[in-house]
Chains A and B, each alone.
Chain A
Amino acid sequence: MTLPTIKALAISEQVTVVPRKRWFHHAKGRQAALINVALILGSVTMLVPFLWMVLTSLKSPAELAQFPPTFFPQEWMFSNYAATLDAAPFGLYFRNSFVIATTHTLITVVLGSMAGYALARIYFKGREAIFLAFIAMLMIPTYTKIVPQFLLVKFMPLFGGNDILGQGGSGWLDTWWALIIPGGLSASAIFLFRQFYLSLPKDLEEAARIDGLGEFRIFAQIYTPLIKPAIATVGLLTFQESWNNFLWPLLVTTSSDLRVIQVGLAVFQQLDNTQWQYLMAGTTMATVPMVVLFIFAQKYFIQGFTNAGIK
C-alpha cells in the first residue's frame, strides 16, 4: 500500500459478494456456455505461467534441453527441491522473509490502528494538520524517497561503527534494523484504519466513558474488536507487500544471512542461470505461501485491494 491510492471505502463493502444470480436470468444457455469457454481460456492463460513454473521445477536437466519442450515431466523429479535447497539456502531466505513480513504486519497493525483511532475519534490540537500531512505523504512515490532513505540508513548515528554524526561506519546497512524499521509502517495503513474507526458509532465510547474507562481501554477493548475484518485486511496486505518486496532489501543488505527470498531468487538466477529446474523450484517456494494465503483469505485480500487501489 505504498501508492497514493486510497479508495474511499464506499464501494468496499459490496466488493466481496457478487450476488449469485442464476445464470439463466442473464444469459441464454448457449450464450452462457460461450462466455464460460471464453473465461476458461482466459483463466488458463493467466494460470499457464504458474503451471509451467511447477512443471519445470519437476523436470530433469536433460528433459529441459529438449525442443520443443514436453509439457508434463517424463519423470517427476521431486528430488529437485532437495537439490535446490542444497544449491542455495532458500530455507534461510524463506525464514528471513517470514520474520520480516510478520514483524512489519505486527508493527503496522499496532501503531497504525492506534494512530487511525486517534485521528478518527479523539480531538486534540494539531490533529487536522497531522492528518493532512499523512495524506500528502501517501502520494509520494517510492522512488522519490528511496535515495535519502538509503542515506538515512547508512548514516544512522551510533550504529554499525558510526559516530554521533553518523560518520565512519556503515550504520544500519546490512542489519535487521534496516530491513524492519523503515518499512514497518505506512501512511496508507493509518489512513485505512482511520476510515474504519470513523465508521463506528459514537454511543459506545460515551457509554464506556461514563463507566470510567480510559482512552486506551476504549481503543483496545471497545472499538478495536469491532474492526477485526479491517485488521485482517490491512494485516494481510502488509504481509503480502512485505513478502514480495524486492528493491529495499536488495539495497540495504549484502550478506547472504540477511537475504530475503525475492533477493535470494534474483541472486541465484544471476549466479547460476542455466539450472532452470532449480530456479523454478526456488520460484515455486517463493510463490506458494502467497498463493495459499490468498486462496484462504481471499475475502480480505479483495476488500483490501479494492480499498488500497494497487500494490
Chain B
Amino acid sequence: MTTTERHPIRGAEAAAKQVSPSTAPKKRKRISTAEKKRRRAGWLMITPSVIHVGLWTLIPVIATFYLSFTDYGIFEAPKWIWFDNYVEMFNDAVFMQSIGNTVWYTFWTVPVSMAVAVVVAVLLNQGFKLQKFYRTAFFLPQVTATVAIAMVWLWIFNPQYGLLNAMLETLGIPGQAWLVDPQWALPAVILVGAWQGIGIKMLIYIAALQNIDESLYEAASLDGASSIRKFFSITVPMLKPATFFVFIISIIGAFQVFDQIYVLTDGGPANATTMMTYEVYRSAFQEFRMGMASAQSVVLFAFLLFVTLISRRVTKEED
C-alpha cells in the first residue's frame, strides 16, 4: 500500500488527481467530429447518475443544513428560527445523553472488535486447513441483516428463558435483566456491536497482512526471534496504516448505529441506550419536527467530519 491508498478520503483524492492523463485533451486543438461524438456519449452515460446523485444526495444535504435553522412540521412551511434548534438541543438532557451513549458505544465496540480482529487475522494468516471455515464464521454476522441478528440477540438476552442467563447460571453467576436493566442495557448493546463488527475489520487486516514482505519474518527467524517477538516487532508496526484505516471507518460506522437499537431496546430503558441517530429518527418520524431532526443530524455530521479531519491531520504528520 502506498501512503495515499491507505485512507479512504485521501485515496479518493489521490484518485482524483491521477485523472487519467492519457485521455486529457491535447492542448486546444479543433475538436474532430469523432471527438465530439465521444464527448456526447460520455455525457449521455453519466447524466442519469448525475441526476440521481444530485437529487437524492446533493439536494438533501443542502436541505438538511437549511432545515436545521427552521421550525418545520411538514404541514406548514418551514419557519426560519436561526439557532433555536441548536440551543434547544444542547439544553436537552436526552440528546446530550444520546451523544454520551454514542461516544461510549464507539469507545467500547471499536477497540474491542479491532483487537479480536487483528488476533484472528494473524492466526488465520498462518494458513490452516480450516481457514476458510474460520473466515466464514467470523464474517457471517457482517453479511446478515442487523435487524435479524438483533432479533436473535433479543432472544439470547431474554431475562427469563435466554441462553445467556442459562450459561451464566451454569457457571454460578446470577443472571441479569440485560436489555431492560438501565445499567446493563448499554453493555449488552455494545456486546452485539462488537460481535458483529469483527468480520469486516478482520478482512481488512488479512488483506494488509498479505502485503507484509515475507522476507522480514525469514530474517527474524534466522536471528532466532520468537513468534511473539515477531508479532510485536514486525506485524504490529507493519499493520499501522491498516489499523488506522480500520479505526476511522469503524468510528464512522459505530456513530451511525441504529438498527440494533431499534430492535433491542427502542432507546430505553430510561434512554440508557438512545443514540444520536435514534434521536434524529424520533424527532423526525415520531414528533415530526423536521427542523430539529435536521439540526441533530448536522451535529452527527460534525462529529464525523471532525474525526475525518483529525485523521487526515495525523496521517499528514506521519508522512
Contact = CB atoms under 8 A, between A and B. Distances in A.
Contacts of B161: 64-67, 69, 276
A152 B60 CA distance: 8
* B: interface residue count bin: 35 or more
Contacts of B290: 147, 151
18 contacts: A4-B308, A43-B138, A46-B138, A49-B152, A53-B152, A64-B161, A114-B49, A141-B255, A141-B256, A145-B61, A147-B64, A147-B280, A148-B294, A149-B60, A150-B284, A187-B57, A269-B151, A280-B151
A47 B204 CA distance: 21
The winner among A7, A190, A191 for most chain B CB atoms within 10 A is A7
A46 B198 contact: yes
A265 interface: yes
A133 interface: yes
Interface residues of A, number: 127
Nearest to A139: B9
Contacts of B149: 49, 287
Interface string B142-175: 1111111101111110101101001001100000
B234 interface: no
B140 A18 contact: no
Contacts of A247: 258-259, 281
Contacts of B281: 247
Contact of A21 (B19, B127, B256): B127
A269 B128 contact: no
A212 B23 CA distance: 18
A246 B148 CA distance: 10
A145 B64 contact: yes
Interface in A104-143: 111-112, 114-115, 117-125, 127-128, 130-135, 137-143
Interface in A178-218: 181-182, 184-185, 187, 190-191, 194-195, 198, 202, 209, 214-216
Interface in B272-296: 276-277, 280-281, 284-285, 290, 293-294
A182 B115 CA distance: 37
Contacts of B153: 49
A7 B57 contact: no
Interface string B187-200: 00000000100101
A255 interface: no
Given A5-B8, A148-B63, A152-B60, A266 B143 contact: no
B301 A262 contact: no
Interface of B: 1-2, 4-6, 8-9, 11-16, 19-20, 22-25, 34, 37-39, 41-43, 45-46, 48-50, 52-53, 55-61, 63-64, 67, 74, 116, 120, 123-149, 151-156, 158, 160-161, 163, 166, 169-170, 195, 198, 200, 203-204, 206-208, 210-211, 227, 245, 249-250, 252-253, 255-256, 258-259, 262-263, 276-277, 280-281, 284-285, 290, 293-294, 297-298, 300-301, 304, 308
B9 A4 contact: yes
Contacts of A140: 57, 61, 301
Nearest to A23: B128
A287 B250 CA distance: 24
Nearest to A190: B49
Nearest to A20: B127
B262 A266 contact: yes
Contact of B137 (A47, A119, A120, A190): A47
Given A123-B42, A143-B256, A309 B301 contact: no
B157 to A, nearest CB: 11
B20 A46 contact: no
A39 B120 contact: yes
Nearest to B13: A135
A164 interface: no
Interface in A1-38: 3-8, 10-12, 14-15, 18-23, 26-27, 31-32, 35-36, 38
B293 A147 contact: yes
Contacts of A142: 256
A283 interface: yes
B16 A135 contact: yes
A122 B207 contact: no
A122 B22 CA distance: 10
A120 B301 contact: no
Contacts of B249: 3, 5, 309-310
A44 B283 CA distance: 40
Contacts of A3: 249, 252-253
B42 to A, nearest CB: 4
Given A266-B262, A269-B154, 9 more contacts: A7-B204, A10-B1, A140-B61, A143-B277, A143-B297, A187-B57, A214-B41, A262-B148, A291-B140
